[in-house]
Every structure is written in C-alpha cells, then in structure tokens.
Structure 1
C-alpha cells in the first residue's frame, strides 16, 4: 500500500496481514459491581478471544450472604446478558463464585437458564465451572480457601457436599470488601496452610481474589491441582468454544 504523505513523498507501508485484524470470538462476562481483576481474566484467553463485560448494579453491602444473593438477582442477570448480546458472544459467563453457589446446585443451574432465556447462546457460572472441573478430574476430596466470612464459606462447603465432594480442610480471610487488594504472599500462605494429604486439589474461591501468578509454582510445590475461580470460569467458556486455555493450570489443559 502506497500514498503521498504531507510533504509529497511516496510512502509505502507493508502490513503483515492486510486482511487483518485477527477475527475475534467473544465471551460475554457478567461481573459483580466490585470486580477489579479484569486484567487477570484476559491473561487466561488466547489472542482471538475478546471479553465483553457487563456489571450488576452497585449494592451498598459488604461481601456476605446478602451480597451474594443481591448480585445473583435474576433481573440483574437478564439485563446484563442483554447488555452484551449486541457483540454476539459465543458464551456468556456469570463471573461470581458466591453468587452461583449461594443457594445450591439447582439454583446454579437456574442462573444459566436465566442467561440463556435472555438470549445467550450458551452460559457458564463460576460455581458451575467448579462442578465441571470436579467431574473432569474425578475429585471427591478438596481443600478450599475463601476471602469470605465463616457463614458464606460454609455455604460453599454445603454446595460442594451436594456435589458429592468433601471439604477436607478450609480457611477463610473474613473480608467484607477490598478483596482484590490481598497480596500474593497472603494468598499463597493460606493456600499452603489449607493443603492436606487427603485433599486431591485446592479450590481458591472468589473472582476478585488475585491468583494467576500463584497457580503454577503452587501446583509444583504441592503436586496437585490449584483451581481458582477466574481460571475455571475461563476454562469452561473456552472449552465450549473448542479453544485452549492460556496460562497455568496443567491439570486442566487437556481435559476438553
């Protein structure tokens, strides 16, 4: 391609692919209002995938059972789904662990139904992705860490028990907000402390807890899967798109 510039010089530009850019394939993301880790999400997906985010409305409550129920309100999920439909995502994910485990497995399934009824081609929730990983890896005993209080953490134990998976050991940070500010050192220490010889894997709950750079070194150190909320959500979405998950998580890489 050549043209005259402002000085009258003939300029020729050579592009690597004049038919570009790379065709994009979309994932819609419905995130709680307080999500601060969008950048972590992008690190899990290949170049041809774009993420299109919508947020639930702000709720002036701390992270708790009440907040989990508010951010999983069917009306909010329906509105957020419609907000991203115009870019034609192949799948829409409800990116919230507590909001999708708070009322058990039937409720998790109903959230996916709500998103599809609003027009999504396919739907994933974070806790639903956890169930898929439990089945794919044949897990029956895991450890968990959460940033939540004891009551909300107990709801996760109930969800796992309903799925036939025993919580061998558990730890929680007891935070009511600012979860994205927790340091890698703190998260790593809690994961190590939550490990148990009887645990087949460790699940790190909450899509607002930073984990990306910890997964690989901790899996090497512990010799077992370290499953995180954002990782599992992206893995489940990409599996439906027949695309590989980028980044750490070697136990999940070849499952789909």
Structure 2
C-alpha cells in the first residue's frame, strides 16, 4: 500500500509582480501568415515586452472582397488576446485588408473587445514612418495584383503623398508572397524606386522585407519603410521603447512623432 504524501499548504503566498512582463503587445494575424510572428519576435519581443498572438480566418486569393471578409472576425480575435487584461498596443497585421476595411472600422472592431487600446495597422504605421523620415514623394512596391494594389495607391495619396511610381508583382496567395527571398527584394526595390522618390514603401506583412531593409536602403540610397518594420516600430514606441535598432533600417532609429 502506498503511503500518502503529506502535502503542506504554505500559510502565505509569495508577492506578485504587477505583470509577468512590463508591456504587452497584441497581434491579430491571418490564419495563413508565415512572417509577422517571426518578425515581431526579432524586432519587438524582449524581457520587457511580451507579444501575444491571435489568428483569424482567412482564405486566399488576396482580393479586396476576400480581405473585407476578415472584418467580422476582428473583435473576436482581439478578445482572445489575454482576455480581460489590458494591452499597451494591438496590431492588426494585414496591410491590404487594413486599406480596404478602413482605419476607423478596424479601430472600432478591435476596441469593442479591448476598449481604449492603441490600434496599429501597417498602413497607418507606414504613414507615420514615412512622415517621420520626412518623405513626401514615395515609390511603392507590393506583391499584390493590380486590383488589390489600387486601394493602396489611393490610401497613400489621400494621406498627402505624391506617388512617383507604383510596382506590383501580381501574386494572389499570401503564402507565396512569404516565399519571396529577401535577397530578391533588394533587386526589386532597386527596380521599383523612382529617382524622384524620397523613400520606398514595401507593402505586405507576408513579405520577409524586414530582413532586407538595410540591403534595400543601401541599394537605393534612400529610406525604406516596410509593413512589419513600421508596425514593430510603432508598437515599440507606444511601449516607451525608443532604443535605436539600425539593423532594421533608418526608421527604427527615430522617435514616433
């Protein structure tokens, strides 16, 4: 017969920290996303900042119609991230969907689950980043089709940028977009950047563009802003982290204006 183990309940509990980590960044990403989580682990996560992820349904092809279908899932996705606990920032990580759904609509959907949380999207972060760099005339590179790229052009034009050139690659599947080699993006950036442009915006959270930012900047002699780099920068600054990270491009050395 086994002798019962005498388990002692300690009379007092140890003191608790206010939070396991000081700052919290939420990420709402597509079910098919291969890139945002690794990028945020590299650029945002630390002993001070935790990154917490929820995935929402998405089905290719990447068309404006399919992108809009994610809107009803945004509130539920946000609610899954540390339920009933506050966040310091939350990012919806899809550039093309953010443009077609709309900034105000995304913010309202996310804040329905997380009231008051600052909401970051790639296009809004891209706008902030380009303005922080002093860019007025830009070139844009996307992996999308022409149909999906048109709303992107309209968005940046509406935010006051002159678009010197716009290049798209014609992909319809975000999983294929994620397979474009970072080294290829350097060549594509060189090809896509107009001589009149102050900076290049590389759109799409599926692209592994954050790994190629420095190479792209060296190739074109101008600042480069990418979707995941811009949202990471925005989230870091909202968490009070102003440490320069030049290995991820010029933007990562600047404050959030």
Do both proteins adopt the same fold according to a TM-score greater than 0.5, normalized to the shorter chain?
Answer: yes
C-alpha displacement at 1:24, in angstroms? 4.5
CA-to-aligned-CA distance 1:34-75 (integer Å, 9 cap, x gap)? 11012122111152222111111133x31121222122x1x2
What CA distance in whole angstroms lies between the structure 1 residues aligned with 2:253 and 2:151?
29
Shift of 1:208: 0.4
Distance 2:198 2:153 in 1: 16
Aligned partners of 1:69 and 1:102 also within 8 Å: yes
Distance, in Å, in 2 between the alignment partners of 1:211 and 1:27 is 21
- Assess if the C-alpha contact under 8 Å between 1:201 and 1:227 holds in 2: yes
| 2:134 matched residue in structure 1 | 138
| 2:238 equivalent in structure 1 | 240
Is the Cα contact below 8 Å between 1:29 and 1:94 reproduced in 2? yes
- The CA deviation at 1:166 is 1.7
| Corresponding residue number in structure 2 for 1:44 | 43
1:221 matched to 2:216? The reply is no
Q: What SS does structure 2 have at the residue aligned with 1:119?
A: coil
Q: TM-score, with normalisation over the residues of structure 2?
A: 0.83
Are residues 1:80 and 2:77 paired?
yes
Q: Normalising by structure 1, what TM-score?
A: 0.83
**Structure 2: distance between partners of 1:254 and 1:134:** 11
Within the candidate set 100, 108, 114, 1:113 is matched to: 108
4+ runs deviating over 6 angstroms: none
Please, which runs of 5 or more residues in structure 1 have no aligned partner? Answer: 1-18
**Aligned 1:132-211 pairs, distance under 5 A:** 132-177=128-173, 178-211=176-209
C-alpha distance in 2 between matches for 1:58 and 1:94: 13
Corresponding residue for 1:4? Answer: none
Do the aligned partners of 1:147 and 1:179 also contact (CA within 8 Å) in 2? yes
**Pick aligned residue for 2:90 from 92, 95, 98:** 92
Q: CA deviation at 1:112?
A: 1.5
Task: Give the conservation status (yes or no) of the 8 Å contact 2:186–2:215.
Answer: no
How many residue pairs end up in the alignment? 231
Partner of 2:57: 57
Structure 2 residues not aligned, in runs of 5+: 1-16
Task: Give the drift of 1:110.
Answer: 2.6
Tell me, in whole angstroms, the C-alpha distance in 2 between the residues paired with 1:218 and 1:65.
28
What is the root-mean-square deviation of aligned Cα atoms in Å? 2.0
User: What is the 5 A alignment of 1:30-41?
Assistant: 30-37=28-35, 38-41=37-40
**SS of corresponding position for 1:109:** helix
Structure 1 residue 117 displacement after superposition: 2.6
